[in-house]
A and B are shown apart, each in its own frame.
Chain A
Amino acid sequence: DQQVKQNSPSLSVQEGRISILNCDYTNSMFDYFLWYKKYPAEGPTFLISISSIKDKNEDGRFTVFLNKSAKHLSLHIVPSQPGDSAVYFCAASAIGTASKLTFGTGTRLQVTL
Chain B
Amino acid sequence: GAVVSQHPSWVICKSGTSVKIECRSLDFQATTMFWYRQFPKQSLMLMATSNEGSKATYEQGVEKDKFLINHASLTLSTLTVTSAHPEDSSFYICSLGGHGGGGYNEQFFGPGTRLTVL
Contacts and interface: CB of A to CB of B under 8 A. Distances in A.
Interface residues of A, number: 25
6 closest A-B pairs by CB: A43-B109, A99-B98, A99-B97, A93-B105, A103-B44, A105-B43
Interface in B22-67: 32, 34, 36, 41-46, 49
B1 interface: yes
Contacts, number: 71
Interface residues of B, number: 31
Interface of B: 1, 4, 6, 32, 34, 36, 41-46, 49, 91, 93, 95, 97-98, 100, 102-112, 114
Contacts of A106: 41, 43
A20 to B, nearest CB: 20
A43 B43 contact: no
Interface string A29-72: 00010101000011111100101000000000000000000000
Given A46-B1, A98-B49, A98-B98, A89 B104 contact: no
A102 interface: yes
Given A41-B91, A42-B111, A43-B93, A101 B104 contact: no
Given A46-B1, A100-B46, 13 more contacts: A2-B43, A32-B103, A34-B106, A43-B109, A49-B106, A93-B105, A98-B32, A98-B49, A98-B98, A99-B32, A100-B34, A100-B49, A103-B43
